[in-house]
């Protein structure tokens, strides 16, 4: 059996698709001999040629020395059968996501490889324990989950199944580092770390649109401009493919025994069933032209109304809102003249709840979300029955102050508060159930999904009390257990601790 620090010199890769090719390439450039096998005749040779072309391109772009590229090429061989893996120190399987087929491959491998050869699966959705169940020597079996495209994505998840030895995990961490990746050790659970953690961003966005609060374009604009995400959730789903992200969402939801916090929306299924998968079909949440460029409807409000000059603060003690409004050129008063617009900045509440709680005129009450960055775009919310003339006048003033404006229907938590709080809460829940360490959760989410910050760092930046308030308000108003705060979040909010504080 492998011991801690075992040197891996020869790596077998099964599967010559995009993932297998990428794993082979980083293995070669990491100084290891790679044996590449695919059951389809000619597939491995074709993959070898594609890898060589990729290395040549890297040389041409001065990203790799010519001598290093030639040395890497010399370390790759095409295997004609699984028998070639008798010489392997590690075999990585990267084939179809079918449990029966993977189990059959692992059974065959166990009869071929040395007792000290490690066996790893690149599966993204199947439990490692389920794959290992077909084998006798389970302590040497683990997950080694790379991300596509492998040569560009620096993260690799090292998955520990119940039977996996510490020595196997330690060796695979070293292998990941030799391949130029940044490994995180993750427990064997549905979706592992990144696929699980990524559910909140897209699925809360789907809920917001399904409730008629905003359009996909509006949600994307808010999450890019106000919260710093490089891609909005709908743009992201269209890119990865709805035929991919919907089934993964279902697998994870089922795997966690239908936890409401992981449920997607009927709209997600509708697009999948209709064959509108996103960019690959030129129609998803957005339409795409032949070059793959999205044809995105406008997100910003337009109005020809005269700008508002005076507004009333719903809460005269809300200094942050008052300061913002004055900076935007509004006269702010604490006295209600019975006709001016009333502005508020609630946490987790909608206008209807706020108006009823404080006995304010809901027709004149409008809410600004002052969480997140406010230099480019503002979100303005109204209750049912709101006076449109006053609403338009406030929008016009915000435009005159140089801000784009997203106008939405009533929603507890607006857009940004809801999504950000759910991302933070899921990160806290992953820490609570020990999917990985808090630091590794944040590292994986930033590397694997290109988030601007990890979910636990996001919770700290928002303030744990703020995140907890947003979620409890959402849960109270909607009656939906979906917004149940993680105990990890609740305890640290009560004690004034960072979300990154370990037990």
Question: pLDDT digit string (tens) for 136-150?
Answer: 999 999 999 999 999
Alpha-carbon distance 241 to 284, whole Å?
A: 8
**Residue 274 catalytic?**
no
**Selection from 408, 414, 420, 500 nearest residue 468 by Cα:** 420
Do 158 and 247 lie in a common domain?
Answer: no
Q: What is the Cα–Cα distance from 179 to 354, expressed in whole angstroms? A: 54
Rounded to a whole number, what is the largest CA-CA distance in the chain?
86
Q: Domain range for residue 462? A: 416-495
d(CA 307, CA 293): 35
pTM for the model: 0.95
Residue 26 has pLDDT above 80, yes or no: yes
Cα gap 51→58, rounded to integer Å: 11
Please indicate, yes or no, whether residues 360 and 438 belong to a single structural domain of this protein: no
Per-residue pLDDT band at 1 (split at 50, 70, 90):
very low
Residue 3 scores a pLDDT above 70: no
Helix (H) or strand (E) holding 357: helix 351-358
Q: Tell me what pLDDT residue 303 has.
A: 86
- The answer to whether 445 touches 451, Cβ cutoff 8 Å, is yes
Q: What would the pLDDT profile of 410-420 be if each residue is shown by its tens digit?
A: 999 999 999 99
The yes-or-no verdict on residue 79 having pLDDT over 80 is yes
Residue 119 exposure: Cα atoms within 13 Å on the Cβ side? 31
pLDDT single digits (tens) 161-197: 999 999 999 999 999 999 999 999 999 999 999 999 9
Task: Say if residue 123 is in the same domain as residue 239.
Answer: no
Please identify which of the residues 121, 122, 124, 486 carries the catalytic annotation: 124
Residues 143, 30, single domain; the answer is yes
Catalytic residue among 157, 204, 235, 349: 157
Q: At 434, which CATH number? A: 1.10.1040.50
What mean pLDDT value characterizes the chain?
96
Last residue in a domain, options 188, 218, 241: 188
Query: Is 47 inside any structural domain?
Result: yes
Question: pLDDT digits over 290-322, tens only?
Answer: 989 999 999 999 888 899 889 999 999 999 999
Q: How many domains are contained in the chain?
A: 4
Residue 482 lies in a domain: yes
Same-domain pairing of 144 and 42: yes
**150, 167, 188 — which closes off a domain?**
188
253 is catalytic: no
Catalytic annotation, pick one of 110, 122, 145, 468: 145
Residue 98, CA distances (Å) to 93, 157, 236, 355 in order: 12, 20, 25, 53
Say how far apart CA 174 and CA 32 lie, in whole Å.
12
Distance of CA 135 to the CA centre of its chain: 33
Residue 5: predicted pLDDT: 59
* The pLDDT of residue 151 is above 60: yes
Let me know whether 422 and 342 are in one domain. no
Q: Do 45 and 169 have their domain in common?
A: yes
Distances (CA, A) of 65 to 27, 48, 68, 72, 228: 17, 19, 5, 11, 36
195 catalytic? Reply is yes
In a domain, residue 300? The reply is no
Same domain, 23 and 110: yes
CATH number at residue 17: 3.40.50.720
Question: Is 124 noted as a catalytic residue in this protein?
Answer: yes
Q: Collapsing DSSP states into helix, strand and coil, what is residue 479?
A: coil
Residue 458 lies in a domain: yes
Residue 258: pLDDT band with limits 50, 70, 90: very high
**Would 301 be classed as within a structural domain?**
no
In the chain, the percentage of residues whose pLDDT exceeds 90 is 97
Residues 392 and 486 in one domain: no
Instruction: Point out the least confidently predicted range of 7-11, 68-72, 101-105, 304-308.
Output: 304-308
Preceding omega of 149 cis (within 30 degrees of 0): yes
Nearest of 356, 429, 395, 434 to residue 187 by alpha carbon: 434
The catalytically annotated residue of 165, 195, 245, 425 is 195
351 within domain boundaries: yes
Q: Is the pLDDT of residue 2 over 80?
A: no
Q: Which helix (H) or strand (E) holds 52?
A: helix 43-60
Point out the domain boundary residue: 408, 425, 454.
Answer: 408
């Amino acid at each position: 059996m492998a011991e801690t620090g075992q040197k891996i010199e020869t790596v077998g890769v099964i599967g010559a698709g995009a993932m297998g090719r990428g794993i082979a390439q980083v293995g070669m450039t990491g100084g290891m001999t790679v044996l590449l096998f695919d059951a389809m005749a000619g597939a491995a040779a074709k993959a070898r040629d594609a890898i060589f072309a990729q290395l040549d391109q890297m040389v041409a772009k001065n990203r790799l020395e010519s001598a290093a590229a030639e040395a890497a090429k010399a370390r790759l061989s095409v295997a004609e059968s699984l028998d070639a893996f008798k010489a392997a120190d590690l075999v990585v399987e990267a084939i179809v996501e079918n449990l029966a087929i993977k189990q059959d491959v692992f059974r065959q491998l166990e009869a071929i490889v040395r007792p000290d050869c490690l066996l790893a699966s690149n599966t993204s959705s199947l439990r490692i324990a389920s794959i290992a169940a077909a084998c006798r020597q389970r302590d040497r079996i683990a997950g080694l989950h790379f991300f596509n495209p492998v040569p560009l994505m620096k993260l690799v998840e090292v998955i520990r199944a119940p039977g996996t030895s510490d020595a196997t995990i330690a060796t695979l961490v070293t292998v990941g580092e030799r391949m130029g990746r940044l490994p995180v050790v993750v427990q064997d659970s549905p979706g592992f770390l990144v696929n699980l953690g990524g559910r909140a961003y897209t699925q809360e966005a789907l809920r917001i649109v399904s409730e008629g609060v905003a359009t996909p374009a509006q949600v994307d604009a808010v999450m890019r401009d106000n919260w710093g995400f490089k891609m909005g959730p709908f743009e992201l789903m269209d890119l990865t493919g709805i035929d991919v992200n919907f089934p993964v969402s279902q697998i994870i939801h089922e795997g966690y025994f239908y936890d409401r916090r992981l449920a997607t929306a009927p709209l997600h299924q509708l697009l999948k069933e209709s064959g509108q998968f996103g960019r690959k079909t030129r129609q998803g949440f957005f339409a795409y032209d032949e070059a793959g460029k999205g044809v995105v409807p406008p997100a910003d409000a337009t109005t020809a109304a005269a700008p508002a000059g005076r507004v009333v603060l719903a809460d005269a003690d809300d200094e942050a809102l008052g300061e913002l409004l004055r900076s935007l050129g509004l006269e702010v008063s604490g006295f209600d003249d019975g006709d001016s617009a009333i502005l508020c900045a609630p946490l987790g509440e909608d206008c209807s709840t706020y108006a009823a709680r404080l006995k304010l005129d809901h027709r004149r009450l409008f809410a600004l979300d002052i969480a997140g960055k406010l230099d480019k775009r503002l979100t303005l919310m109204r209750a049912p029955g709101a006076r449109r003339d006053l609403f338009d006048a406030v929008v016009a003033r915000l435009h005159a102050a140089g801000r784009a404006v997203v106008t939405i229907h009533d929603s507890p938590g607006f857009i940004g508060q809801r999504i950000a709080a759910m991302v933070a809460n899921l990160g806290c829940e992953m820490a609570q159930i020990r999917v990985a360490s808090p630091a590794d959760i944040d590292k994986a989410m930033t590397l694997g999904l290109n988030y601007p910050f990890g979910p636990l760092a996001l919770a700290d930046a928002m303030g744990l009390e703020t995140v907890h308030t947003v979620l409890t308000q959402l849960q109270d108003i909607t009656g939906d257990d979906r917004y149940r705060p993680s105990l990890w979040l609740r305890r640290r909010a009560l004690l004034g601790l960072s979300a990154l504080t370990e037990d």
